Structure 1
Amino acid sequence: MDEQRDRGGELVRFTELAGNRLYRNNAFAVTGLPADAAGRSVRQQRQRLEARLAVQKSWPGDPASPLTVEYRVEEVRVAFDQFQDARRRLVDELLWRWGDADLGCDCPGDLHAAHDAAVVAHAEALDGATAATGLTATRARELWRAAADGWAATLAHPSFATHVGHRVDALAEDRRLAALTADDFVDKLPALLVSPLNELVGFLETRAELAAICAHFSRHEIFAPLVAEGFERLVDEGSRAINATLRAAEEDRREGRFSDALDKLREQVKPAYEELEPYWPFVSEWRREELSHLVAVGMNNLAVALLEHHRYQRASSQRSSRLIELAETALRVTPSDQGGTIAENLRVIRQLHGHAARRHAPLADAPGAAGAAPGQDTLWGCLAFLVVLLGIIGVIVAGVGSGFVPALLTGLGTLTALGLIGTFSEAGRARREAAKRQSAGHGGGNG
């Protein structure tokens, strides 16, 4: 039982450093001590920093640190406390620069160099993602790639486990560490190294950025299942929110509140699903297909209900456009082997509502040249109204003052004028459509 408690002790420090604290709270980063610091050198550095922090608010930690951090006195005290427990101290040592410290391990020189490069790249990349450091996107991509590749190479190095074993033996005067082996530390490191990825979602502008970062780690066998596990949790959270909205939309549909149901699917479910799409390469296929099926069925059910509803109540051009959009999204997200019925429903919806949707398209999709059409149509409509009004007045005046024949001629003249207005209006619309098609044709050629 005592051995079990000892073996679980080092896990506390792994938990404390998990996430974005991975490097920021590292005892060596905070105190500026070298990796081989012990006994007297630790006490002297503590006294120096306590004196310094008595007259200033903070200090930046390790002078060679890539982090942009200022540590206050309480954070420094907590960091020095880690040196009192060899299990905690060793976790921090493995996660900071070894530099020129004499660790007495006789490791090949390339191991220490690869380890330190991985630490610096990972720490700088993480700091740049979670703080306003001015790190460029190009530099960030380079750092994340170097961090993933560097740590994978370090963990796979034939001498890494030997190095850790040597350090366990060197610090074994602390009896709490004596019961542990190198594997107790090495086996936990991969999960700790990818632990910040789930927390980055709150700092990055898009989830696609997070997916790109994770792709660097997923290329390595040692990290891939751990990245997938983290994304499974994120997809679980997103799936629960989507399912709740789908249930609410289904209730609206059954109660005939079609507009409310449509808004929920367009404005909540669709964007929430699209936010999860960058994660699909990192999660299990069955989870992706399960959520995709639920979203597709919910959208298809509403599309079919709206199609039936508008058999008896004519749809506006906007509603027709959104109905087609809903059916198209349902087909896009449905798993490839389940789309037959949904594809047929989309075909029918396009056949019955495509014309009305096209009437709505210039307002929604073409604010440039096509945007002038509504104004021109309105001008012709106003002119036609004016002609009708004057024609009615003319017929009345002619009938009262001159008799039936002049009134009839006046009415025929009004109808002729309306016909000319209609001809000119249609001709203008035809020219605009031709220009639009020509423009589309040029655009397709350039693409």
Structure 2
Amino acid sequence: MTPAFPALTAWSDLPRLNVDEFFERFPVIDEAYEAGETGLADGDIDDLEFIVISGDVSISQEQAREMEAALELEENWTLRIAVDGSVHVDGGTDALFAVSGDLYCNWLGIDKAWASFSVCGRVFASDCVFVSASDEGWMLDLPATRIDTPLLFLWNYKPDNIDLNPDAVMFVLGFEWWGSTLPNRCYAHQQMIHVIDSRFLKPFTCINTEEDIWDSRAIINALAAGESIYRAGVDLRCEQAMDAAGAAMASADFRLGHVRYKQAATMSPAYYPATMGMADAMRAGQAYAQAFDLYLEASKLFPLEQTGLVNEALNAAARFALRLGRLELAHELATQSIDFTQVSNWNDQPLAQAYWIRGEASIAQGDFAAAERDVAQALRFDADEPQPNWLMGFLCFRRGEHDQARAFHAKAARHWPQNGYYDVASTYVVGFNPVSVDWDQIDPASLLPA
């Protein structure tokens, strides 16, 4: 609810305080400065001037733009604007340095100078909040902050210190972060690309990009116009079923896991992780032919415009096509994976797998020269992977290079102690017993609550 604060009239002609006067008015910021939390440099702080707007106030979009323009015109950004009270801003603004009470707005952008003093009360943002460290390196601990918003975007900040409304959805980018203790639904790194529409994502080349991959201005404009930022065919309500599916898989109830993933995929037909989960459940249940069909379907749901991430469903589909004896299709899918993963240029393991799968398909098709080129590439990317070591040993054996063959097979055995070798005469079907299950015929509504 928007508070009925008095409208701001004149502001630019208000008296300007020096830093000592400002600290006397805002002692909490003086404490933050002494603790090194304000982002204010010692050499520049004496040059700062502060305009303080007293009392609760409402600031229009036009006034907010005027303030931002004034800050741009001040040499070396020496002017700061603060509100000693609560404030409602129509839209959003980067102009306010500190608010002693609550801040009400449509959106808020917070940069690396953000600290616990910036809004001493609570932020109420009706559309979204962006918190960006704009920094390389370790993820930072966000100072204790109170925020109410539907969407929270964090770049290089851990969310755990936030007092956040539990229905907010979080999107997190940054290094060395392994999850949140908050109860909120959270999408981190590559999970984001399966949820947010590509119109609201900036191009990127790898998961560890130094720039934010979301387009904050496009998101702000869309939300202001009442538009959704999510991909067509994605409904976040499916996440409850996804959580239940993960729990079922963890307890080795693959049938229930599949049904739960199917429920999620029914709610969100364009959601790649749901169909990928169905395929993983079939694979765990050894229904390999059915898993293949689902991996193939999932590979087509991957947002192909995202060239910085790996479409793992392509490798899985290629591997199962190989095992099912569909050699030309295995070769084609592995080639697609190679072409796609090479663009990403950051994850060698999936690229190595795609090369040895294509190499094994070439062996089964009798093209040993092509197979050797691909297996050599697989070993270049992942020298310890057992499959390409065994395949290279097989190729050496065919040429009569027995010492080299034994060396490659010994290396494969060291990294693959639980499994026997492939059969020399039939590399692509050994140990692959087709099983069929009826899980796709189960109506989730017959097992699950609505």
- TM-score, normalised to structure 2, is 0.30
Higher helix proportion: 1
Give the number of the structure whose alpha-carbon radius of gyration is greater: 1
Question: Which structure shows the higher strand fraction?
Answer: 2
The two structures have a TM-score, normalised by structure 1, of: 0.30
